[in-house]
Chains A and B, each alone.
Chain A
Amino acid sequence: MSYKIEIEDLNAWFNAKKVLKDIYMKIPEKAVTAIIGPSGCGKTTLIRCINRMHELSPGGKVSGRVLLNGENIYAKDVDPVIIRRKVGMVFQKPNPFPMMSVYDNVAAGLKLTGLNDKSKLDEIVEKSLKLTSLWEEVKNELHKSGASLSGGQQQRLCIARALAVEPEVILMDEPTSALDPLASAKIEQLIRRLSKKYTIIIVTHNMQQAARVSDFTGFLYLGELVEFDETKKIFENPKTELTEKYITGEFG
Chain B
Amino acid sequence: MDKLFNGFLALIACNVFVILFLMLYKILEGARLSLQTYGFSFFWGASWEPFPPTPDMQPSFGVLPLIQGTLVTSAMALLLATPISLGIGLTLSEFSPKRLNFLVSFLVELLAAIPSVIYGLWGIFILIPFLQNHIYPALQATFGFIPLFQESIRGPCVLTGSIVLAVMIIPTISAISRDVFAAVPDSQREAIIALGATRWETARMVMSYARSGVIGAIILGLGRAVGETMAITMVIGNSFNLFNSLFDPSYTLASIIANEFTEASSPPVYISALIEVGLVLFVLNLAINAFAIVIVWQTMKRVKGS
Name the residue of chain B whose CB is nearest to the CB of A144.
Answer: B305
CA distance A246 to B154 in the complex (A): 81
Name the residue of chain A whose CB is nearest to the CB of B211.
Answer: A99
Are B302's CB and A99's CB within 8 A? yes
Known: A84-B196, A98-B209, A112-B201. A145 touches B305 (CB 8 A): yes
Q: Of residues 91 to 146 in A, which have CB atoms within 8 Å of B's CB atoms?
A: 91, 93, 95-99, 108-109, 112-113, 144-146
Are B191's CB and A158's CB within 8 A? yes
Are B305's CB and A147's CB within 8 A? yes
CA distance A98 to B305 in the complex (A): 7
CB distance from B168 to the nearest CB of A (A): 31
B303 touches A (CB below 8 Å): yes
CA distance A165 to B304 in the complex (A): 26
Name the residue of chain A whose CB is nearest to the CB of B187.
Answer: A95
Interface residue from B196, B302, B305 paired with A112 (Cβ < 8 Å): B196
Which residues of chain B are within 8 angstroms of A113 by Cβ–Cβ distance? 196
A234 touches B (CB below 8 Å): no
A66 touches B (CB below 8 Å): no
CB distance from B305 to the nearest CB of A (A): 2
Of the listed residues B185, B197, B211, B305, the one surrounded by the most CB atoms of chain A closer than 10 A to its CB is B305
Are B303's CB and A99's CB within 8 A? yes
B192 touches A (CB below 8 Å): yes
Are B190's CB and A95's CB within 8 A? yes
CB distance from B206 to the nearest CB of A (A): 11
CB distance from A84 to the nearest CB of B (A): 4
Known: A81-B197, A112-B196. A91 touches B303 (CB 8 A): no
Are B197's CB and A91's CB within 8 A? no
Which residues of chain A are within 8 angstroms of B193 by Cβ–Cβ distance? 53, 56, 84
Are A81's CB and B196's CB within 8 A? yes
- A interface bracket (residues with beta carbon within 8 Å of B): 20 to 34
Classify the interface of chain B: helix, strand, loop or mixed.
Answer: helix
Which residues of chain A are within 8 angstroms of B197 by Cβ–Cβ distance? 81, 112
Are A53's CB and B305's CB within 8 A? no
- B interface bracket (residues with beta carbon within 8 Å of A): 20 to 34
Which residues of chain B are within 8 angstroms of A96 by Cβ–Cβ distance? 191
Which residues of chain B are within 8 angstroms of A158 by Cβ–Cβ distance? 191
B306 touches A (CB below 8 Å): yes
Name the residue of chain A whose CB is nearest to the CB of B188.
Answer: A95
Are A84's CB and B194's CB within 8 A? yes
A203 touches B (CB below 8 Å): no
A51 touches B (CB below 8 Å): yes
CA distance A197 to B215 in the complex (A): 45
A200 touches B (CB below 8 Å): no
Are B187's CB and A91's CB within 8 A? yes
B205 touches A (CB below 8 Å): yes
Which residues of chain B are within 8 angstroms of A162 by Cβ–Cβ distance? 194-195
CA distance A89 to B189 in the complex (A): 13
Which residues of chain B are within 8 angstroms of A109 by Cβ–Cβ distance? 195-196
Known: A82-B196, A112-B195. A53 touches B190 (CB 8 A): yes
CA distance A56 to B198 in the complex (A): 12
Interface residue from A88, A98, A108, A148 paired with B192 (Cβ < 8 Å): A108
CA distance A144 to B304 in the complex (A): 10
Are A99's CB and B209's CB within 8 A? yes
CA distance A158 to B188 in the complex (A): 11
Interface residue from B191, B196, B209, B303 paired with A145 (Cβ < 8 Å): B303
B259 touches A (CB below 8 Å): no
Which residues of chain A are within 8 angstroms of B209 by Cβ–Cβ distance? 97-99
Interface residue from A84, A93, A144, A146 paired with B195 (Cβ < 8 Å): A84
Name the residue of chain A whose CB is nearest to the CB of B306.
Answer: A148
B41 touches A (CB below 8 Å): no
CB distance from B192 to the nearest CB of A (A): 7
Which residues of chain B are within 8 angstroms of A99 by Cβ–Cβ distance? 208-209, 211, 302-303
Are B306's CB and A97's CB within 8 A? no
CA distance A84 to B198 in the complex (A): 10
CA distance A99 to B208 in the complex (A): 7
Which residues of chain A are within 8 angstroms of B196 by Cβ–Cβ distance? 81-82, 84-85, 109, 112-113, 165
Which residues of chain A are within 8 angstroms of B190 by Cβ–Cβ distance? 53, 56, 89, 91, 95
Interface residue from B185, B188, B305 paired with A148 (Cβ < 8 Å): B305
Which residues of chain B are within 8 angstroms of A53 by Cβ–Cβ distance? 190, 193-194
Known: A99-B209, A145-B303. A91 touches B191 (CB 8 A): yes
Name the residue of chain B whose CB is nearest to the CB of A58.
Answer: B98
Provide 7 A-B residue pairs closer than 8 Å at the C-beta atoms, listed in order of the A residue. Answer: A53-B190, A81-B197, A89-B194, A91-B190, A98-B305, A112-B195, A112-B196
Q: A81-B196, A88-B195 are in contact. List 7 more A-B contacts (CB 8 A).
A: A51-B194, A53-B194, A56-B193, A91-B187, A95-B188, A98-B305, A112-B195
User: Closest 3 A-B residue pairs measured CB to CB?
Assistant: A145-B305, A85-B196, A109-B195
